[in-house]
Amino acid sequence: MGKPTTERFEEMVLEVDFASDGTFKRICGMKGVSVSRSANIDETEVVDCDDESKPNEMLSDVRSIKVSASGEGTWAQESHGKMMDWFYSASHLPVRLGNLKAKQGDTEYESGPALISQLNQSRSDGKGRVTCSIEIAFDGTPERTAKA
């Protein structure tokens, strides 16, 4: 059996263009990132025309696609102002998700305008650091860019 080619921590990235100038940067302090891709499905029952006593067949069609990302990490001063401004402005910023180990011709980046839908900070009793978690939702279907 051949071994799979795997992707390392730093090769799956969430980047934001905070200045909307084409410069994407990772969110300082963000350690964990999860990407969620889901399809909303419409289902239709279809009757067998030759024998209506048979169970109906269920047909499925994709109505819409949703892509979002979440992350968690340590609240960093370097990101504090940017994240607070993004949330309170309720504005769309350019975001891209990258799989930097993609093979040539496969999707390397998913990018598009996105909103920050949740911005959480947390502290626990003791001497630990303040942590954070975020939720980001793309506005529409992100554009896919193949690795050159």
Query: How many structural domains compose the chain?
Result: 1
Whole-number CA gyration radius for the chain: 20
pLDDT, position 1: 82
pLDDT, position 64: 96
pLDDT, position 96: 97
pLDDT, position 5: 87
Residue 2 lies in a domain: no
Residue 12: pLDDT band (50, 70, 90) is: very high
Residue 1 lies in a domain: no
Give pLDDT tens digits for 60-78. 999 999 999 999 999 999 9
Q: Answer yes or no: is pLDDT of 124 > 90.
A: no
Residue 4 lies in a domain: no
Relative to beta strand 131-138, strand 57-74 is antiparallel
Residue 40: pLDDT band (50, 70, 90) is: very high
Residue 115: pLDDT band (50, 70, 90) is: very high
pTM over 0.85: yes
Q: Answer yes or no: is pLDDT of 122 > 90.
A: yes
CATH number at residue 125: 2.40.30
Average pLDDT for the chain:
95
pLDDT, position 127: 79
Q: Tokens 């949740």, residue?
A: 118
Residue 95 lies in a domain: yes
Parent domain of 72:
9-146
